[in-house]
Structure 1
Amino acid sequence: MSSFPSIDTELLRTFVAIADNGGFTRAAKMVNRTQSAVSMQMKRLEEDVLQRSLFARDGRQIRLTAEGQVLLGFARRILKLHGEVFTTLREPHMIGAVRIGTPDDYVMRFLPGILSRFAQAYPLVQVDVHCESSLQLLQRQDLDLTIVTREPGKEIGQLLRQERFVWAEANGFTPHEQNPIPLAMFNTDCFCRDWACNALTSLDRPYRIAYTSPSLSAIMAVVSAGLAVTAQLQSLITADMRILGEAEGLCELPVANIMLLRNASSQGPITECLAEHIAEGFKL
């Protein structure tokens, strides 16, 4: 038998909540404990169980130490396996519904595989998908899980993926050579549109917003027809398009963060299982 002490899964659950929510206060709400109770849990985890410092404080901000980052990966895997044991042995035929919100960007690229694998595991669960912009989704309180795109420094929730925005146009067309450059972008409540416009302004490249839509498929249809340039996450660029860069006189765009938010008031085995499938799906 191993002489190592066991780690209570509740300690790991609280630890992950702190990492996902950026602090003890928000984590306390997620795990339905007081802030002092959360602090005591982490003191026990650091001093009694692992004997390692997991958190470093920078003013009011809390970040994970190198040891904390290592533990976070293990903690997610342990909690996932822990959940699978119970859902497989105690609730092999989960029945219910779960509501997820996502920008239109990720519906075709990521959701088909995620929902297919989830349906195979839990065929009796109803999944309601709501597609809106990230800003609109952040204002909603009725969703169990929400996928949003966030700017650097504004991350909340669990990081699913980091990805750079890129310029793109259709193969065989050169709308980037037009003056002003015609752009096809999301509607005004999208920070990536601001990134694109600010970048062109800094380059002193005249541009015009030629096409707007809340739908990614509509934007991509315009771009595929050779009518405009767009700026989108690199993984969303299709085979009939090419990425533009310095050779075309365009600068590099920033990296965005794709985050998963959990509704603290509607957590349960169904929601958590889908969250795990989403996290795995965005790694592919």
Structure 2
Amino acid sequence: MATYPGIDTELLRSFVAIADHGGFTRAADVVNRTQSAISMQMKRLEDDVLERQLFERDGRQVRLTAEGQVLLGYARRILKLQGEVITTLRQPHMVGAVRIGTPDDYVMRFLPGILSRFAQAYPLVQVEVHCESSTQLLQRQDLDLTIVTRKPGDEIGQLLRQDPLLWLEAPGFDVHEQRPLPLAMFNNDCFCRAWTCNALDAQEIDYRVAYTSPSLSAIMAVVSAGLAVTAQMQSVIPPDLRVLGEADGLPKLPQSSIVLLRNPHNVSPVSETLAEHIVEGFRL
């Protein structure tokens, strides 16, 4: 197998600076080198390392060749990885595991952004996500952080946001006019299901729970097919469903509170840092 010389990352750093700033002079200022030093670096990169022309020079104007454009993509990735390695190894205290619990409602809406930003900052931390209803999560003692839904006036822990509960159906269907009203709801231990049924009972609206699932995506699939109406929190409503209200003959539903609970027996820098990311993520 043929062997090739390695590429010094300082050469790549200068190369990227030239590409980003359009010339050797401005790039020299950025990487804190003289213009002659930059020129020598690029000559070495072109002649000794890659044996390819990377620049087209027209007076003071510098443009990348086709080979230079290819190298630019690789150079950015190499420098990014180098930065990640240094960041990771300089933060050894942020290594470990953290267990969080959350209802299925919030997984697709909030967790992708939260966990993505957390992983970029602390790539060595292992995160376990447990999806259960709020009632089940409140009974667990083994989780570091727990996100749950609470009734208005019954908040515990740190308030993340307040969300109104809204009726939903698929556009083009009039499922809300059927009697008994077919509902697609979470299982029996869900707060939202109890609030929904109580509101219908108070207005003496005949209904039946036609579909149940612990999965929000399954409930939304049933509703999207025009088979039932559901009631979900505003923040998790997909754009393709129609919001119903009192004008459609349905009762107004209460506002829910989403709160974050910390396990006082499992406090650590890892869990506290993830808690800060969760608080910030629910504000977006």
TM-score by length of 1: 0.67
Partner of 1:283: 283
> 1:264 is paired with a residue of what secondary structure?
coil
Asked if structure 1 preserves the Cα contact closer than 8 Å seen for 2:88 and 2:124, the reply is no
Partner of 1:96: 96
> Which digits, 9 at most, give the CA deviation of each residue in 1:127-168, with x for residues without a partner?
000000111111111100000001122211100011110000
Distance in 2 between residues matched to 1:110 and 1:173, nearest whole Å = 29
Alignment of 1:95-134 (within 5 A): 95-134=95-134
Partner of 1:168: 168
Distance in 1 between residues matched to 2:88 and 2:225, nearest whole Å = 48
Aligned residues: 198
Distance in 1 between residues matched to 2:90 and 2:275, nearest whole Å = 19
Runs of 4+ in 1 over 3 A off after TM superposition: 87-93
CA drift at 1:251: 2.0
Partner of 1:191: 191
> Which digits, 9 at most, give the CA deviation of each residue in 1:207-234, with x for residues without a partner?
1110011111111110111100000101
Identity of aligned residues (%): 75
Asked if structure 2 preserves the Cα contact closer than 8 Å seen for 1:93 and 1:122, the reply is no
Alignment of 1:1-284 (within 5 A): 91=91, 94-284=94-284
> 1:276 is paired with a residue of what secondary structure?
helix
> 1:128 is paired with a residue of what secondary structure?
strand
**Residue 260 of structure 2 aligns to which amino acid in structure 1?**
L
**Cα RMSD for the two superposed structures:** 1.7
CA drift at 1:89: 11
Structure with higher Rg: it is 2
Asked if structure 1 preserves the Cα contact closer than 8 Å seen for 2:167 and 2:231, the reply is yes
TM-score by length of 2: 0.67
Distance in 1 between residues matched to 2:154 and 2:110, nearest whole Å = 23
Asked if structure 2 preserves the Cα contact closer than 8 Å seen for 1:102 and 1:130, the reply is yes
CA drift at 1:179: 1.1
> Which digits, 9 at most, give the CA deviation of each residue in 1:87-107, with x for residues without a partner?
999836621110000000100
